[in-house]
Amino acid sequence: MSNLLNRRHFLAQMSTAALAAGISTIPFSSMARMANEQKKLGIALVGLGYYSKDLLMPALEQTKNVKLVGLVTGTPSKAKQFGDKYNIPKENIYNYQNFDDISKNPAIDVVYIVLPNSMHKEYVIRAAKAGKHVICEKPMALNAAECREMIAACKKANVSLSIGYRLHYDPYTQRIMQIAKEQPYGPISIVQASAGFRMGRPTDHWKVKSQYGGGAIMDMGPYPLQAARYSTGMEPIAVTAQQYNSDPKVFIGVDETTTFQLEFPNNIVANCLTTFAANVNYLTINAQKGEYGLNPFSGYSGLHGILPNSQTFDFPPMNQQATQMDEMCLSILQNRPSPTTGEEGLRDMIIIDAMRESVRKGGARIVL
Ligand code: NAD
């Protein structure tokens, strides 16, 4: 790792520096702490919009394995505002023109792409070519072909690629995954998952424009899709989808609402919805011995677990984004695959591509 010093080497260096400076009494515990701090990877956020500013930056004040050291933005006022707020050295602040120079910056180990969906592919590939590990927000890209290019670029550059599936790091989702594995309520038959919100952003926002990869299925759709997959622990074998649009002048070429049905092995069916037209958020799973799930299931906090026989479960509050970035960076430090790889992002995009084909063919059943 470029800016990581071997712990022993670092401690030796510290002792030498202390002696040279005439300081003979730096406590070993302080040196150990400083060595531990050296173990934090440096991360740069690319795109300083809502998710970066409101969620990732505050989360990076809590992380153990990674710290915010760089920013990439096209807006000089944001560079100044957040550079000052988070004490970012000027040489670690880039714009979209000089972004590739990041390759020469050893302080930055990881680049986190938090841009409109249509820009994910370009910036993941540029980050990989710069020799940086990459985290990319969901949805991974515009389609499966782009995902394959991104995975290949990261493999070629020998860098890690993670997708920002924050719920995989949340204990509620992990409990649902565990139930899928252990089946304490018997075999699962039906999954129902819906995630949406009433779109309050300006109607010219990129999230309602097709060329930026907008639309409900791209924005909130990954949540019910992921939920269907992790609730069953299986991959779907066929999909059908329908799209609705109450105002084609606002939602130009994108869906306002998508409903989709996934068929899994063992006759398991998932019935899912995603929308910009209503605030909706639940995951319900029917198994032989009863119904369980989460309501809500995909928020940043405030999740709630429901079990058969009117039982419930809850976990202490945690920070999904901090845990996600810590776990991803630990996998980099330990030289193992990320818990949420590019291949995981690709699996979702293959299914979203099939949904589009189903819609084009009037709701036809598409075999995966
Ligand atoms: P946003 O519109 O608030 O921010 C996007 C940023 O990209 C802005 O700072 C904008 O200035 C910048 N940008 C650079 N070039 C641009 C261009 N040509 N057009 C438009 N913007 C440009 O969006 P957001 O809500 O922060 O979403 C960013 C990414 O994060 C998306 O991929 C989204 O799906 C994802 N996201 C994930 C979560 C999550 O919970 N994991 C939550 C929100 C958003």
Per-residue pLDDT tens for 342-355?
999 999 999 999 99
Is residue 2 scored above 90 in pLDDT?
A: no
Ligand 1 centroid to Cα of residue 283, in Å, is 26
What is the structure's pLDDT at 248? 84
- Ligand 1 contact via 115 beta carbon (within 6 Å): yes
Phi, psi of 356 (to 5 degrees): -60, -40
Q: What percent of the chain has pLDDT over 70?
A: 89
- The residues of the chain that CATH labels 3.40.50.720 are 40-166
Q: Is residue 46 very low, low, confident or very high in pLDDT (cuts 50, 70, 90)?
A: very high
Strand ranges, E, within the chain: 41-46, 66-72, 93-94, 110-113, 133-136, 161-163, 188-196, 238-244, 257-263, 269-275, 280-287, 290-294, 305-307, 311-313, 366-367
DSSP state of 3: T
**Distance (Å, rounded) from C-alpha 164 to C-alpha 154?**
16
The predicted model gives 38-48 an average pLDDT of 92
Is residue 5 scored above 90 in pLDDT?
A: no
What is the structure's pLDDT at 38? 52
**Which residues are CB-contacts of 106 (< 8 A; sequence separation ≥ 6)?**
2, 3
- Ligand 1 contact via 164 beta carbon (within 6 Å): yes
DSSP state of 341: B
- Ligand 1 contact via 206 beta carbon (within 6 Å): yes
Q: Is residue 21 very low, low, confident or very high in pLDDT (cuts 50, 70, 90)?
A: very low
- Ligand 1 contact via 51 beta carbon (within 6 Å): yes
Assigned CATH for 171-317+342-367: 3.30.360.10
What is the structure's pLDDT at 202? 64
- The residue behind tokens 């204990």 is 171
Ligand 1 centroid to Cα of residue 50, in Å, is 7
The distance from CA 337 to its chain's CA centroid, rounded to whole angstroms, is: 15
Ligand 1 centroid to Cα of residue 200, in Å, is 15
Is residue 264 scored above 80 in pLDDT?
A: yes
296 cis-preceded (ω within 30 degrees of 0): yes
- The residues of the chain that CATH labels 3.30.360.10 are 171-317+342-367
Is residue 184 scored above 60 in pLDDT?
A: yes
273: tokens are: 């919805």
Report the predicted TM-score, pTM, of the whole model to 2 decimal places.
0.91
Structural contact between residues 140 and 102, judged by C-beta atoms closer than 8 angstroms:
no
Please choose from 55, 137, 204, 303 the residue to mutate so as to test ligand 1's pocket, defined by most ligand atoms within 8 A of CB: 137
Is residue 1 scored above 90 in pLDDT?
A: no
The predicted model gives 197-218 an average pLDDT of 90
The predicted model gives 306-330 an average pLDDT of 98
Q: What does pLDDT average to over the chain? A: 91
Q: Is residue 200 very low, low, confident or very high in pLDDT (cuts 50, 70, 90)?
A: confident
Number of residues that make up the chain:
368
Ligand 1 atom closest to residue 166's alpha carbon, by position in its atom list: 41
- Please tell us whether the domain made up of 40-166 is placed in CATH 2.60.40.10: no
Ligand 1 atom closest to residue 113's alpha carbon, by position in its atom list: 29
Amino acid at 24: S
Ligand 1 centroid to Cα of residue 354, in Å, is 25
Please choose from 46, 48, 50 the residue to mutate so as to test ligand 1's pocket, defined by most ligand atoms within 8 A of CB: 50
Please choose from 115, 225, 254 the residue to mutate so as to test ligand 1's pocket, defined by most ligand atoms within 8 A of CB: 115
Per-residue pLDDT tens for 211-258?
999 999 999 999 999 999 999 999 999 999 999 998 888 888 999 999
- Ligand 1 contact via 72 beta carbon (within 6 Å): no
CA atoms within 13 A on the CB side of 327: 19
The predicted model gives 157-162 an average pLDDT of 98
Ligand 1 centroid to Cα of residue 87, in Å, is 23
- The residue behind tokens 């818990």 is 339
Ligand 1 atom closest to residue 213's alpha carbon, by position in its atom list: 32
Structural contact between residues 19 and 52, judged by C-beta atoms closer than 8 angstroms:
no
